[in-house]
Structure 1
Amino acid sequence: MNFHIYHPADALRPFVKQYYYWEDNTRGTIQLPQNLFALGDQYLILMLEGKGEVKPAAHKSFSLTGNSILGHITCASHFQVEGPVKVAVIQLNAYGSYRLLGLHSECFTNYYRDLDIQDNLWSNTASSLKQITNMQEVEELLDKACLTAMESNSCNLKSVDDIADYMLIKLGNVSLEELSERYTISKPTLERLFNTIVGLPPLLYARMIKYRTAMRALQQLNLSEWQLPMEATPFYNHAMFIHDYLQFNHQTPSYFASATATIAQMPGFNLDQVAVAS
């Protein structure tokens, strides 16, 4: 199995976070980690070989067979691919899809958008990736495609990028009132703009930030510390954390389920990680 991580050109940041290239000759169904896609990010997926299937807990399953945008995932989801598989992935931040491709929330159906119906850029990029002889060409081809897309798109972020970045700085602990006052914009207008450009209600995005921050914080604790209050996380109490854990992970945290639960039962979560090579 080959798994590579690449970094985008400086001109593409912060819209593009990382590139991934995964090649696996395993035949049959490959189950992928539930934390494959980070909450609050979108992913441009070029399926060069094989096919993938996304099974959201709250929506109908759908297949990834060509070139598509996936996200924002707002509920627990299971992912699998049929190998052999070869795929290139572009990880975008919350507003990267809008800035690079001009895609707003109405363009998506259940977290999914087929890019082959938009233009030939990504199908041509996929064709070029299938012909590579040097793995360094992956980064060059994806940089070129993303820069071309961004230069041909003139969408105005209308301060939503600043709002989203501020929410990250505050670890999701913000209210609509605070955002409305800070950016001198009415709450209805703020919600409308955020929904259009990011594709999520601002308070749901804030919950995602709090949840992934909490998961990273809790993973740093020793087992004996897991029963301590939630001071190490952005959550005010356990009830709020469990509520979001059920939505985003579709099961009760193991350390609340029984006295025999171990830290190994807690699914891992890493903001930047998409897959684990072994």
Structure 2
Amino acid sequence: MNFHIHHPADALRPFVKQYYYWEDDTRGIIQLPQNLFALGDQYMVFILEGKAEVKPVNHKAFTLPAGSVLGHMTCACQLQVQGPVKAAVVQLNAYGCYRLLGMDAANFTNYYRNLLTAEQPVWQELITALQQEKEPQRVESLLDDACLQALSQQPGNLREVDDIADYLVIMQGNVSIAELTARYGLSRPTLERLFSKIVGIPPQLYARMIRYKTALSALRQLNLPEWQTPVAATPWYNQAMFIKDYLLFNHETPSYFTPSTGTIAHMQVDNLQQVAVAS
């Protein structure tokens, strides 16, 4: 197995968070952890070899095309690939797809959009270049070049939603819609319409995702085996509210928060940092 994490060029931040490059010679079905893709982010996924299928709990399974934008995943999902597999993934922030590709929520079919049906030939050219590339170290520059080219082709996008999404992250999701409408001088319908158009989900759901990710991170740092005791330190008023969100995003009842081992998210790699995960 060969798994690398690379960092994007400065000009692509904050729209692009990280690049992942994964090669695995294992034959047959490889079951991936459901927390591989972080809540609140979108991803460009390039399947260079093998076949990838996504099965959301509340939706029928779908097979990813060779190049796609995936997310936001708003419920637990099961990911599996038919190996051997070779794939490159671009992790975008909440509004990265709109900024980089000019795509809003209307461009998506359910949870994804086929990039190869877009007018930009850059993605097919990128897939071809990645398939021919033999040096994993070169992947970063190939992805940088393609993303910078795509970014340069976008006109001036609506930027106010960028600030709203960033503010929700800074506040760890602990912001009401009334506070947002007052802060940005927008009516509630206008705020919800703009945010849903650009981010792809309503601001209330995005805030829940941020609260959930923040709370889970805090609970894990406490290094306690049982989840019940420290829930009072999270944004939830009681355990029932926390369980409700946990079931939505994981489709299972919470028990322990000790990190699992042997998943892609915890592989030791040279060069970089742990993959961002939501749960």
Question: TM-score normalised to the size of structure 2?
Answer: 0.91
The CA distance in 2 between the partners of 1:41 and 1:236, in whole Å, is: 26
> 1:67 aligned to 2:67?
yes
- The equivalent of 2:153 in structure 1 is 152
Shift of 1:189: 0.5
Write the deviation string for residues 84-124 of structure 1: whole angstroms up to 9, x where unpaired: 00000000000000000011101111211000000321111
Residues 235/114 of structure 1: CA separation in 2 closer, same or farther (3 Å cut): same
- The equivalent of 1:115 in structure 2 is 115
Residues 274/201 of structure 1: CA separation in 2 closer, same or farther (3 Å cut): farther
Q: 8 Å contact 1:116–1:123 — kept in the other structure? A: yes
The one-letter code sitting in structure 2 at the alignment partner of 1:164 is: A
- The equivalent of 1:137 in structure 2 is 138
Q: 8 Å contact 2:19–2:89 — kept in the other structure? A: yes
The CA distance in 2 between the partners of 1:80 and 1:220, in whole Å, is: 29
- The equivalent of 1:85 in structure 2 is 85
Shift of 1:67: 0.3
Question: TM-score normalised to the size of structure 1?
Answer: 0.91
Residues 46/75 of structure 1: CA separation in 2 closer, same or farther (3 Å cut): same
- The equivalent of 1:230 in structure 2 is 231
Task: Please list every run of 5 or more consecutive structure 1 residues that lacks an aligned counterpart in the other structure.
Answer: 255-261
Shift of 1:223: 2.7
- The equivalent of 1:174 in structure 2 is 175
Q: Describe the SS at the equivalent of 2:213.
A: helix
- The equivalent of 1:24 in structure 2 is 24
The CA distance in 1 between the partners of 2:180 and 2:21, in whole Å, is: 38
**How many residue pairs were aligned?**
266
The CA distance in 2 between the partners of 1:58 and 1:217, in whole Å, is: 28
The CA distance in 2 between the partners of 1:14 and 1:131, in whole Å, is: 29
Task: Please list every run of 5 or more consecutive structure 2 residues that lacks an aligned counterpart in the other structure.
Answer: 269-279
The CA distance in 2 between the partners of 1:142 and 1:97, in whole Å, is: 15
- The equivalent of 1:259 in structure 2 is none
Q: 8 Å contact 1:102–1:155 — kept in the other structure? A: no
The CA distance in 1 between the partners of 2:135 and 2:79, in whole Å, is: 29
The CA distance in 1 between the partners of 2:266 and 2:143, in whole Å, is: 21
Q: Describe the SS at the equivalent of 2:73.
A: coil
Shift of 1:136: 2.0
- The equivalent of 2:126 in structure 1 is 125
Q: 8 Å contact 1:94–1:198 — kept in the other structure? A: yes
Q: 8 Å contact 1:38–1:274 — kept in the other structure? A: no
- The equivalent of 1:186 in structure 2 is 187
Q: Describe the SS at the equivalent of 1:34.
A: coil
The one-letter code sitting in structure 1 at the alignment partner of 2:164 is: I
Write the deviation string for residues 124-158 of structure 1: whole angstroms up to 9, x where unpaired: 10100111132221000000000010110115133
Q: 8 Å contact 1:5–1:18 — kept in the other structure? A: yes
Q: Describe the SS at the equivalent of 2:182.
A: helix
RMSD: 1.7
Write the deviation string for residues 165-192 of structure 1: whole angstroms up to 9, x where unpaired: 0000111011111000001111110000
> 1:221 aligned to 2:222?
yes
